[in-house]
Amino acid sequence: MKILMTGSTGLVGTALVSALARDGHTVCRLLRPQSAVLGGAKEGFDVPWNPATGELGGAGVGADAVVNLAGASIVGGRWTKARKELLRASRIDTTRALVGALAKMHARPRVLVSASAIGIYGDRGDELLTEDSKPGTGFLAGLAREWEAEALKAEALGIRVVLGRFGIILAPHGGALAKMLLPFKLGVGGRLGSGRQWMSWITLEDVVTITRFAMENGAVRGALNVVAPQPVQNAAFTKVLGKALRRPTLLPAPAPALRLALGETADALLLSSQCVVPEVLGKLGYSFSHPELSRALHALLQKG
């Protein structure tokens, strides 16, 4: 297949480009003129595009699939007004421009797999959340709703659209797990707040495989929870990670201290609860490489 990809230099994009290239697929990395591939990636090739105008290089013609992973990181300090505007523009405006570019093609891709996030469900306590659950409230939920709405406009072009609602992605070299490892290794890790909030996690390996599954399986369309089948509460996650690293987990981070340090970001990213299950993947018979947390962490830490 010939695949167009935005966000190819991020955690998921880098792994996905490598996996697709290894299997003989042609990957076209859609990059802004001022962008460069981090680390000088050898797989695939670059296609210039301008999200501000929707202009796409001619090498993108004839693609079979599109993977849209563009979006500035939601972590990294407080969400100032300027930061929120960047998060919105990098997701909503970029996706709108991408769909606009696809509309100009005479031969259009068969499928668009567009990233979203389980943040669309908001803070839901112990409620079990499936793809049929209603969106929640808050900044992240609103951001994800608008993000998905832009991607779904591609359906009017005859393109199958999959909305990959990513959970907490675990990888030893990046993402949430990489940020957790140092304090835990130093013995100062602990639960966040009450520890009762649910964490819906997924390994990077499964994210890559599920994204490919969504591209190749015509039965997959609409919302898709990209999470492992066994979500855990933060206190349990903390204990499992501490055990895997053979380190104590006796120093909790109180919710007031997290809010003082990070403001709104603390409630949205660290203290909110989303007990999300992959109902659609289960019905389609997808087999997870890492369905259970303790074995997943053991495998990841061995690699790290």
Q: What is the mean pLDDT of the chain?
A: 92
Backbone angles phi, psi at 132, to 5 degrees: -85, -5
pLDDT at 39: 41
pTM of the model: 0.94
Q: What is the mean pLDDT of residues 266-287?
A: 96
Residue 223 has pLDDT above 70, yes or no: yes
Q: Report the distance separating Cα 33 and Cα 198, nearest Å.
A: 41
Q: For 137-146, b where at least 16 C-beta lie within 10 A, e where not — what string?
A: ebbbbbbbee
Residue with tokens 């969106």: 135
* Domain residue ranges in the chain: 2-173+200-227+276-288
Residue 33 has pLDDT above 80, yes or no: no
How many residues would you count in the chain? 304
pLDDT in tens, 195-210: 999 999 999 999 999 9
Superfamily of domain 2-173+200-227+276-288: NAD(P)-binding Rossmann-like Domain (3.40.50.720)
Cα–Cα distances in Å, from 142 out to 123, 194, 221, 225? 12, 26, 21, 17
Beta bridge partners of 225: 165
pLDDT in tens, 34-51: 665 444 455 678 888 888
Comparing C-alpha atoms, which of 61, 59, 73, 66 is closest to residue 20? 66
pLDDT at 42: 57
